[in-house]
Amino acid sequence: MPASGSDLVKGDKPASTFDWAKVLLNGALPLAGVVIALAIAGIFLALLKTDPMTAYAAMVNGALGSTFGLTMTLVKATPLLLVGLGICIAFRANVINIGAEGQIIMGALAGAVVPISMPNAPGWFLITAACVAGFASGALWGFIPGILKAKMRVNEILSTIMMNAIALQFMNFLLQGPLMDPENIKRGTFLAQSARIPQQAWLPRLVPQTLLHAGLILAILLAIVVYIFLWRTTIGYEIRAVGLSPDASRYSGISVPFNVALSLTLAGGFAGLAGVVEVIGVQHRLMDGLTSGYGFTGIVAALLGGLHPLGLIPASIFFGGLLVGADKMQRAVQIPSALVTAILGMIVLLVSGAGIWARRWSAKRLAGGRRTAGGGRSAGSGRSAGSGPTAGGERATEAH
Amino acid sequence: MKGMLSLNVLTGILNSMIALATPFLYAAIGETFAQSAGVVNLGVDGIMLLAGFAAFFVALTTGNLWLGLLAAIGVGILMGLVMSLVSVTLKAEQGVSGIGLYMFGLGMSSLLFKVLIGTVKTIEGFKPVSIPFLSQIPYLGPILFHNSVLVYGAFLLVPLSWVILEKTSLGLKIKAVGQNPAAADSLGISVVGIRYFAVCLGSALAGVAGASLSISLLNLFQDNLTSGQGFIAVALVYFGGWSPLGVLAGSLLFSAVNSIQLWMQVLGVNLPASVAVMLPYILTILALMLSSNRARQPAALNKPFDRSEN
C-alpha cells in the first residue's frame, strides 16, 4: 500500500465511533430528496386532475400489496442493484457512467447468444458461460469510453450516451436480421425478438409461480464482493484515491488513467451482468425494450444508496418498488409510468443539490474535530466534490 | 445508385442539411454561452423535449405558432433556472444535475404528451419564406433562401453570438467568469449572476431548438422526439472549440451526415436502417476524440465557484 495509506488510517481514527452525522448525511438527505420529489410530482398530478393520494396509494399497493407485487419489486431490484454496483465503482473513481443502458444491451446479447448457440450443453455450463460472456461484453462497452477518457480526455458522459445509442441500434440490427426468432419468421409475425434460450439455461426460481429468480442472490453476494473490493483491497483503494484526489494519487505513484479505464470497464461489466440476468432469469430471450430504463434508474439508486455497495441494496429495492408501483398506478388511475422518469430526474436534481450540505457538514467536522493533514481539507472541496454527494463525508469517516 | 448523383437528389440533401442543422445550432450555441461561463449543462436534451412539447401543445391548442415558440422559450428559461439553482447556487456536480434535468424533461414531456394529446398528431408548422431576389439565384437560391423563420434565425444566431461573445463587455464578463471566476469576482463581476444569465440564455435557446423540431421541421411530437440530439449538441460545443463558428462547422457536418443517411434510406441504398442511424453517434465519439485539444477550454469549466475557497 502506498505511503499515503497510513495518513488515511491515522487521520480517520477520531471518526471511527458510531457517527450520527454520517447516518444523517447518508440517509436523511437523500430520503428528504425522495419525499420532496414525490410531493412535487403530487402537485403535477393534481394539476392533471388526478388525486395524488389515490395515485400513490395504487403505487404502494402495487409494489407491496401482494406476493406478486413484492416478488416483482425484488425482480426489478436485481438489475438495478447490479447496474448500481458498477455506477458506484465508477463514481468512486470520479467517473460518471451514463452508459449502463448500452452495457446492459451488450450483456443481454451475449447472455442470449451463448445459450441459443449451444442448445445441448448442460445448464450449469450455460449459465456460467452466459454470465462470463455478458460481463465481458458489457465490460468492453465500458472499456471503450474508459480508455478514451484515460488517453484522450474524451468526456465520458457524452461518449457513454453515444455508446448507448450505438448498442441499441446494434441490437435492433441483430433482432431484425441474424438473431430474429426463426419461429417468428415461419409464422410471419416478424417481432423484434430472438428465439427462446434452452430451458436448462434458465435461472432457478426462488419462489414457485413467481418471476423471482436466483439472480437476486447473485446480486446481493456481488454487493458484498464490491464492498470488500473497494474498501479492503489495494486496487479498490487506488480507485477511490484517484476519485478523491487525482493529483495526490499521481504523486504517490498510482496510475490515474489506468484506474479511470478500469473503473469504467468494471462498471460496464456489472451492467452487462444485469443484462444477462434479465435474459436468463426473466425474459428468456433477447427482445426490444429489455433494458426498461434500468441503466438510468440504476444511477439514481446508486446516488440514493450513498454510492456505497451495501447502501445500494435497500435503494435498489426501493426503486424496484417504485417501478412496479408505477405500472399499477398506470392501470389504476391512467397516469403514464413516464411519471416515474420525471420523479427520478427530480430526485437526482434534489440529491445532487443537497450535496452542498453534506460537504459543509463534513468540512465543519473536519475543522472542529482535529487539525487535518494537508490533504484533508482539499478532499471536501474542488474536484473531489464531484465524486458524489457523500464523498466529502466519506473522506472524513473512511475507517469503519 | 444512379439516382444518387442526380441534381435533384443533391439539392434535396443540401436542403435537408440546412434544415437539420437548425436544432443543433440553437442548442449548441446556447450551450456555448453556458460553458463559456463555466457551466456544463447536460440537460439540453431534456429542455429540448419539454420545450418542444410545450411549443407543439400551445400551437395545437391556440393555432398560434409564435405563442408556441414563446412557450418553448418560457419552459427553457424555467428549466435553466432550476439548473442554475442546483449547479451554481448549490454547487452540485454538473454532470449529475444535468442528467437529472434530462430525465425530468424526458419523463415530463412523455407524461404530458400521453395525458394531454394521446396520439401522434401533426400540425402545420412554420412555412418556408422566400427571400425576394436571393431565392431566384439558380440552384443555391431555393436551398439557402427558401426556408422557415426558425432556420434563418439559427444561421443569424451564429454571427450574433460571435459578436456578443467576442466584442461586447457582456461577452467578456461571461468568458472571464468561465476562465477565472476568482479574478472576475475581485473585479466586481457577479460570478453567480453571470452564470445564471448564461445558463438561462442557453436553456432558452435549447427551448427554441426543441420548438424548431416540433413546430418547424417535423411538425409533430412523440416520445423522445430528440433521440439524443441535445447530447450531440453538447458534444458539438467541444468539437467547435467553444466558438460559434466552430459550432456552425460542426452542426453542418452533423446535419450533412444525417441528411445523407436519410436520403440513403429514401433511395433504398442497401444498408440496414439501424446501421445508418448509428452513424451520427459514432461520428460524435470521433468528433470528441478529434477535439481533445483543449487549449480553448474555459479553465473553470465544470467547477462550481466558492468565494471562501479562494
* Chain segment A34-57, per-residue pLDDT in tens: 999 999 999 999 998 889 999 999
* Chain segment A322-339, per-residue pLDDT in tens: 999 999 999 888 889 899
ipTM: 0.92
The pTM of the full predicted model, rounded to 2 decimals, is: 0.88
Q: φ, ψ for residue A152 (rounded to 5)?
A: -125, 10
- Higher-confidence residue of B66 and A181: namely B66
CA distance B37 to B189: 12
In 3D space, the residue among A131, A40, A88 whose CA is nearest the CA of residue A298 turns out to be: A88
pLDDT for A147 equals 96
Number of structural domains chain B divides into? 1
Q: Are strands B146-147 and B129-130 parallel, antiparallel or unpaired?
A: antiparallel
Q: Which residues does chain B have within 8 Å of residue A380's beta carbon, measured at their own beta carbons? A: none
Mutation for B interface: A29, A174, A341, most B CBs within 10 A: A341
Range of the domain at B43: 2-122+138-295
In a domain, B300, yes or no: no
Mutation for B interface: A91, A92, A105, A155, most B CBs within 10 A: A155
Kindly report the CATH number assigned to the domain that includes residue B193: 1.10.3470
* DSSP structure class, residue B301: T
In a domain, B131, yes or no: no
B286 touches chain A (CB under 8 A): no
Q: Under CATH, to which class is A4-396 assigned?
A: mainly alpha
In 3D space, the residue among A382, B175, B199 whose CA is nearest the CA of residue B184 turns out to be: B175
pLDDT for A388 equals 37
In a domain, B105, yes or no: yes
Q: Which amino acid is at A201?
A: A
Average pLDDT rounded to a whole number, residues B39-65: 96
Question: CB within 8 A of A280, min separation 6: which ones?
Answer: A111, A115, A127, A130, A197, A201, A202, A203, A215
CA distance B152 to B146: 9
pLDDT at A247 over 80: yes
Average pLDDT rounded to a whole number, residues A220-232: 96
CB-side exposure of A297: number of CA atoms within 13 Å?
29
In a domain, B110, yes or no: yes
pLDDT for B271 equals 78
pLDDT at B188 over 80: yes
Strand-pair partners of B146: B130
Residue B275 is nearest to which of A158, A165, A173, comparing CB atoms? A173
* DSSP structure class, residue A197: P
Q: What is the band of A373 on the pLDDT scale with cuts at 50, 70, 90?
A: very low
Average pLDDT rounded to a whole number, residues B20-30: 96
Q: φ, ψ for residue B122 (rounded to 5)?
A: -115, 155
Domain limits, chain A: 4-396
CA distance B9 to B6: 5
Asked if A273 and A135 count as a contact pair (C-beta separation under 8 A), the reply is yes
Residues of chain B numbered 67-96 and touching chain A (CB < 8 Å): 82, 85-86, 90-93, 95-96
Q: Which amino acid is at A182?
A: P
